[in-house]
Amino acid sequence: MTFRNGIWRRALLGLALAGLSAAPAAAQDAARGERLFKVMCGSCHVPDAPRNLAGPHLVGIVGRPAASVAGFAYSPALKAAGFAWTAEKLDAFLANPRATVPGTAMVIAVAKPEDRASIIAYLRSLGAPPGQ
């Protein structure tokens, strides 16, 4: 099967434009993630200040060891988890907290992969807390 040059040019132009739009897409994901976070997570977690609610604050969550916020009463299961919060681990935990860490107190799951990705992009965009 052969293609005319015009088709190849359009295909290559489309690929180039898709590559140029990757950074704005990440920013859009983080903005969408912020909105989702407020609705789905914000009643239990503070994302950008070291203040605990029903759940621990999530300042600097990406890369932080599980169950490491001082002063928060974690479940024994999360205390014994022994991992750091990578994007992959956050995705699995948000998808099904009780399967990822059996015995966790976290009960809310985020069903849609695109919603989890956006929330994680938002949390990553916040970076580490000042002084860390």
Q: Where are the domains of the chain?
A: 25-126
Q: Report the CATH number of the 25-126 domain.
A: 1.10.760.10
pLDDT tens-place values along the chain, 132 residues long? 444 555 544 544 444 444 433 445 666 799 999 999 999 999 999 999 999 999 999 999 999 999 999 999 999 999 999 999 999 999 999 999 999 999 999 999 999 999 999 999 999 999 865 554
| pTM for this prediction | 0.78
Quote the CA–CA distance of 14 and 119 in Å, as a whole number: 28
* Backbone phi, psi, residue 79, to 5°: -60, -35
